[in-house]
Structure 1
Amino acid sequence: MTNMERLQKIIAQAGIASRRKSEELILSGKVEVNGEVVTELGTKANPEEDMITVNGKPIRSENKVYLMLNKPKGVITSASDPEGRKIVSDYLKGVKERVYPVGRLDYDTEGLLILTNDGEFAHLLTHPKHHVPKTYLATVKGVPHGSALDKLKNGIMLEDGMTAPAEVEYKDVDTASNEAVISITIYEGRNRQVRRMFEAINHPVIRLKRISFGGILLQNLKRGLTRKLTKEEVNNLITLAKSEPAKKMKKR
């Protein structure tokens, strides 16, 4: 006998929306159970026996899919683009399930992007309170002095507030082109955060690539290709997200 579960959890696990968005769907009267509209968040149902519909369409449980994509530069992290630019789904031709990006990489940023149809998993990894680390290689204009990088390590004021401490390390310096490659690990997910952090110390980003998400490494995955995350990698991400933030963030 299947246990009864909260509706928002059932909808999220079906890959329709995140847990929070599922709650919004319920509150707005767009969810029905056995033909009756349900608007109370505490309502439970049996996903194997009850007929559950969202916007009039029955939900069905899909196999959970967890993918890593090496997103190329110049690709939109969204389901569609009115300007006709490439989107991440253009690189998912062999994937039958509808999957969604976990967080975003902006148009000019390349590298590791996780995609899934598990709304609860995506919400866990992107919720601000969980501080999942993300590591980037940033090629910046000029060569920042140690005091400038210390500002990033300790947290720097942006227009939307002070950033959390970051881990920053020199990787390479090209004196001929007056560029430096810096590894930076952040624990937040603000819009264009890494680019804005380097702009704040007057060393704008020329190229940006994410190479790690929650300890999962991009490694040798070729640009534009995907691979499935292993069960161990998925479990490690879940464990990391649920662990105490203080254990993951190094105080500077």
Structure 2
Amino acid sequence: MRLQKYLARAGVASRRASEALIAAGRVRVNGEVVTKLGVTVDPDAERVDVDGRRVRLKPLLWLALNKPPGYACTRHDPRRRPIIYDLLPADVRHLPHVGRLDFMSEGLLLLSNEGDVVHRLLHPGTGIERVYHASLRGPVAAELPDRLQAGVALEDGPARARRAGWITPPHASTPTVEIVLAEGRNREIRRMLASLGVTLRRLRRTSFGPVRLGALAAGAARELSPKERAALRRAAGPACSRAVTE
């Protein structure tokens, strides 16, 4: 296992931040300072220390969080707003979030330290579906789902829904449309709707790939089942679908 991956799995820092720790000479393997990237370690046979303290691997873990609106997907918010890690028990706050939801969006957010699978899931080429329910200020044009599927021009390129359809009718005071995306661009649905002159009242993610939000309460988290974890690994591709020993 590469040393920076070991540090990330141990909850020391993200993989990129772990590389900086290594380059700064703050990491020792079997008592020897390591400053070169690419060094591999045997978790069962070698000792790793950071700033003089031994670090050990943490078990692979996947959580589903029902993020409420008004929480930032970050570890440190310069504006001192509430962050998603405020909602989690201390012993799982080391888990990186899988993608993000913007500050006022809500719903399913995954967290995991299984970095290789996370990287594959977030890669645009994997095409993992994210399902959202968007509640709008009505009434709106009945053809809105068709326009979302046809695509709109945004400043960072065209954007389109893989699928879209009404949950509640467009003539209601608060119509709701289901939107399925296969990518995770910043504030994509908000920008798509704004470009079409539609006012968004509430945006909630209900699924990410094979994982569903279900009846999980707002602000609550649960551990994914073995079946859900296996489904995510299959969705990430053949390289990630094998069983993982911990």
TM-score by length of 2: 0.83
Corresponding position: 1:173 with 2:169:
yes
CA contact (8 A) 2:161 2:179 kept: no
Name the structure 2 match of 1:241: 236
**In structure 1, C-alpha distance between the alignment counterparts of 2:171 and 2:142, rounded to whole Å:** 14
- 1:52 corresponds to 2:48: yes
Query: 1:25 and 1:186 mapped to 2: Cα distance?
Result: 36
The yes-or-no answer on 1:93 pairing with 2:89 is yes
- Give the distance between the partners of 2:161 and 2:47, measured in 1 at CA: 48
Post-superposition offset of 1:57: 4.9
For residue 201 of structure 1, what is the aligned residue in structure 2? 196
Runs of 4+ more than 3 Å apart: 15-32, 53-58, 94-97
Q: Number of residues paired by the alignment?
A: 237
In the alignment, the residues of structure 2 paired with residue 31 and residue 151 of structure 1 have an alpha-carbon distance, to the nearest angstrom, of: 53
RMSD: 2.6
Q: Share of identical aligned residues, percent?
A: 37
Deviation at 1:152, TM superposition (A): 1.9
Which stretch shows the higher mean deviation, 31-40 or 194-203? 31-40
Match of 2:241? none
What residue number does 2:142 align with?
A: 145
Instruction: Tell me how far apart the structure 2 counterparts of residues 48 and 63 of structure 1 sit (CA, whole Å).
Output: 13
In the alignment, structure 1 segments of 5+ residues that lack a partner are 244-252
Residue of structure 1 equivalent to 2:70: 74
Code of the residue aligned with 1:233 in structure 2: it is E
Q: What SS does structure 2 have at the residue aligned with 1:45?
A: coil
The answer as to 2:80 corresponding to 1:84 is yes
1:48/1:209 Cα in 2 relative to 1: closer, same or farther (>3 Å)? same
Instruction: Measure, in 1, the Cα distance between the counterparts of 2:181 and 2:16.
Output: 24
Report what 1:130 is aligned to. 126
Q: CA deviation at 1:158?
A: 0.9
Whether the 8 Å CA contact 1:65–1:97 is kept in 2: the answer is no
What is the CA-CA distance between 1:63 and the residue it aligns to?
A: 1.8
Superposed displacement of residue 32, structure 1: 3.8
User: What TM-score do you get using the length of structure 1 for normalisation?
Assistant: 0.82
Cα deviation, 1:118-174, whole Å, max 9, x if unaligned, reads 33333232223322111000012342332x432321332211112255210111026
Q: Report the alpha carbon displacement of residue 11 of structure 1 after superposing the two structures with TM.
A: 3.0
C-alpha displacement at 1:39, in angstroms?
1.6
